[in-house]
Amino acid sequence: MFNYVVRRVIYMVPILFGIALVTFILFNVVGGDPVLQMAGKHANEQTLRELRAELGLDRSKPLQFVNYLKQIVTFDYGRSYSTKQDVMSMIWRAAPVSFTVTFPAFLLSNLIAISLALVVAFWRGSLFDKVSVAFCVLLISVPSLAYILFGQYFLSYKMGWFPISGYVASVPDIFAYLALPVIIMIILSIGGELRFYRTVMLDEISQDYIRTARAKGLTERVVMFRHVLKNAMIPIITSVVLEIPFLIVGGLLIENFFGIPGMGSQIVDAFNTSDFPMIKAQVMTLSMMYMVFNLFTDVLYSVVDPRITLR
């Protein structure tokens, strides 16, 4: 396993280089001159030259790309164009905020979806199963913005059950501000997760070893939890672990509409203000996390199922 992990880490280097190259081309070549967007169309040439020199954009494109690679290696992406603050410091401040919103929704939605998937798979073909599938399709079909606007207008403004927007880090006030965003994120996630986990459970139920377990006289509870759920852990782990990197980024729409100062809000603000250092740092951070957790998923496979060997 050690050799496999080392080899996978080495493979990450050219992948990260390719991501860095594509990101640099998109935002420094194709995306136009950020200085013109920052200074405005009425800025004179002297102002543009001074701003380019200040931001290091007066150098050639190859030198800028080399500097970008150095930033990736050192995790020092410079200062934000819009706030003039250190980019990584801003990300480290915003990441816990996003995590407080997304982690409860991630945990609850997966627990609910897996539990309901076991029940639905047990009652497969019944009216309850058909209604559940139709309900999942309905949840997926409704745009996320509709849930947000409905929650803010009816549940917050009309009913007064939750604050319309805002964020307070202190306990217990934080729970009031996080309740509605978490509920909406659970609703947005549970439809797709329940359908996926239901399919996984049904695939396992149709296997020969399940019929053998029932023939031995095992109860349905033992069959579902000890055999079906255990053997369905490979696709479940894949789905769950690969969601973890996106917990830090948070929900873009959720954070913006509810005024939550997390990484999702930072990304939207960075695009609106052409804050390229922030955009590039967010892209590389998410890419690294995704590859690390992808490797972590492969390692967990061998832990859950000893028949799987990593080569």
Domain ranges of the chain: 2-74, 87-304
Q: Calculate mean pLDDT across residues 179-186.
A: 88
Which of 219, 229, 245, 244 has the alpha carbon at shortest distance from 197? 229
Question: In which band, very low, low, confident or very high, does the pLDDT at 61 lie, cut at 50, 70 and 90?
Answer: confident
pLDDT: is 244 or 295 the higher one? 295
Averaged confidence pLDDT in the chain: 79
pLDDT higher than threshold 70 for residue 307: no
Q: Note the pLDDT of residue 36.
A: 67
Q: How far apart are CA 121 and CA 78, in angstroms?
A: 52
- Note the CATH number of domain 87-304: 1.10.3720.10
Q: Is the pLDDT of residue 28 over 80?
A: no
pLDDT in tens, 80-134: 877 888 888 888 888 888 888 888 888 888 888 888 888 887 777 778 878 888 8
Looking at the predicted structure, is the pLDDT value of residue 293 above 70?
Answer: yes
Give the residue-averaged pLDDT of 144-166: 84
Please state, in angstroms and as integers, the Cα–Cα distance from residue 219 to each residue in 42, 97, 214, 227, 305, following that order.
77, 45, 7, 11, 24
Mean pLDDT in residue range 60-78: 83
pLDDT for residue 31: 58
pTM for this model (two decimals): 0.77
Check residues 308 and 78 and name the one with the higher pLDDT: 78
* The amino acid at 241: V
Residue positions counted in the chain: 311
Residue 266 near residue 96, CB atoms below 8 Å: no
In the chain, pLDDT over 90 holds for what percent of residues?
0
pLDDT confidence of residue 49: 76
pLDDT category at 305 given cuts 50, 70, 90 is low
Task: Please give the pLDDT value at position 311.
Answer: 58
pLDDT tops 60 at residue 310: no
Report the 10 Å Cβ neighbour count for 225. Answer: 12
Q: Given this model, what pLDDT does residue 115 score?
A: 83
In the predicted structure, residue 194 carries a pLDDT above the cut 80: yes
Please report the pLDDT score of residue 304 as a whole number. Answer: 64
- CA dihedral of residues 64, 275, 288, 192 (deg, nearest 10): -150
**310/150: higher pLDDT:** 150
Higher pLDDT, 161 or 39: 161
Residue 276: the pLDDT is 82
Give the residue among 305, 280, 301 at the shortest CA–CA distance from 34: 280
